[in-house]
């Protein structure tokens, strides 16, 4: 496995009647088993980069631990058939995980693979603190959009991965992580921020993907006030964002965006201005 996140292989490129022999870069996708206190809990398909951050972020956004302080140790152990990431977590977190244990067989782009019943779906988000609001602007989105393209190194090499970026209120990029799975990229970003003890309330997440429900659910759990995506949202993503109070922007390209949810106070203010 390559530490750069992709492999190279010989290909034949067809263009009209011409055929050229070339070397192509292909994004890696491998099974990553997350093992808690020697018990395997989930197997996700992921790009084998930043796996410690991924494991921490997954543990937080899936509610396995309440804070990064409950993770005492993380070890990455490559094997023949995939990679094991072994976490030593607090006894409280481990016992709670066993109580609601579910086996996930993760696939890129899927947030509920392997869930045993509809009753186990966790679709009720934690409400955001009222003070956590960020007002979007065209300049902010342009800043984030332009900067993200320059930071997507794995995407530039392979054309086949997603990116999750942490931005300041002005749209300045502070951190970027990439993966074949958009939810994996977000978990890597959140894990990085948690390990660095960054505040989740003073910025927003910018994603090079659509806004699906699990991305909004993860943002809500971490009290992230705003989520911006390049592509469209789903109906469930909008519903969860509304319930949690997460500001959801999609179709964020250049200096344009579509705002699907806003804090109640802001919506009320906008309605009053329109009425006046």
| pLDDT, tens digit, 9 for 90 and up, residues 40-91 | 989 999 999 999 999 999 999 999 999 999 999 999 999 888 999 999 999 9
Same domain, 109 and 228: no
How many alpha carbons fall within 13 Å on the CB side of residue 227?
37
* Cα-based angle 168, 173, 174 (whole degrees, multiple of 5): 80
CA 164 to CA 107: how far, in whole Å? Answer: 18
Q: Which class for 239: exposed (0-12), middle (13-18), buried (19 or more C-beta within 10 A)?
A: middle
Q: Chain-wide mean pLDDT for the chain?
A: 87
In-domain check, residue 115: yes
Residue 274: pLDDT above 50?
Answer: no
Number of helices followed by number of strands (H, E) in the chain: 8, 13
In-domain check, residue 106: yes
Residue pLDDT, tens place only, 5-40: 999 999 999 999 999 999 999 999 999 999 999 999
Same domain, 258 and 159: yes
In-domain check, residue 18: no
Same domain, 116 and 69: yes
Same domain, 170 and 241: yes
- Among 62, 86, 120, which residue terminates a domain? 120
CA 166 vs CA 19, 56, 155, 171: distances in Å: 42, 16, 17, 9
List the CATH number of the domain containing 232. 3.40.140.10
Q: Which domain holds residue 82?
A: 30-120
Tokens of 83: 């990679």
Catalytic residues: 110
Same domain, 69 and 100: yes
Residue pLDDT, tens place only, 182-228: 999 999 999 999 999 999 988 999 999 999 999 999 999 999 999 99
Q: How many domains does the chain have?
A: 2
Same domain, 85 and 148: no
- Among 88, 120, 152, which residue terminates a domain? 120
């Amino acid at each position: 496995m390559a530490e750069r996140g992709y492999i190279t292989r010989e290909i034949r490129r067809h263009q009209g009647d011409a055929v050229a022999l070339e070397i192509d870069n292909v994004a890696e996708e491998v099974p990553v088993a997350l093992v808690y206190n020697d018990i395997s809990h989930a197997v996700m398909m992921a790009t084998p980069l930043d796996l410690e951050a991924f494991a921490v972020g997954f543990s937080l956004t899936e509610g396995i631990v309440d804070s990064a302080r409950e993770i005492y140790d993380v070890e990455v152990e490559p094997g023949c058939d995939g990679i094991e990431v072994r976490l030593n977590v607090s006894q409280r977190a481990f016992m709670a995980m066993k109580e609601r244990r579910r086996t996930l067989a993760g696939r890129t782009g899927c947030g509920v693979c392997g869930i045993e019943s509809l009753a186990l779906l966790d679709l009720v988000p934690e409400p955001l603190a009222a003070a956590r609001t960020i007002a979007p602007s065209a300049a902010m989105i342009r800043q984030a959009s332009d900067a993200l393209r320059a930071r997507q190194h794995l995407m530039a090499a392979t054309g086949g991965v997603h990116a999750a970026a942490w931005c300041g209120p002005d749209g300045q990029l502070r951190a970027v992580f990439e993966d074949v799975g958009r939810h994996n990229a977000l978990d890597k970003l959140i894990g990085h921020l948690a390990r660095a003890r960054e505040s989740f309330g003073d910025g927003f997440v910018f994603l090079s993907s659509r806004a699906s429900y699990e991305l909004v659910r993860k943002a809500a759990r971490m009290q992230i006030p705003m989520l911006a995506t390049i592509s469209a949202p789903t109906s469930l993503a909008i519903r969860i964002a509304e319930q949690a109070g997460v500001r959801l922007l999609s179709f964020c390209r250049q200096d344009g965006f579509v705002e699907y949810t806003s804090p109640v106070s802001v919506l009320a203010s906008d309605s009053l201005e329109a009425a006046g």
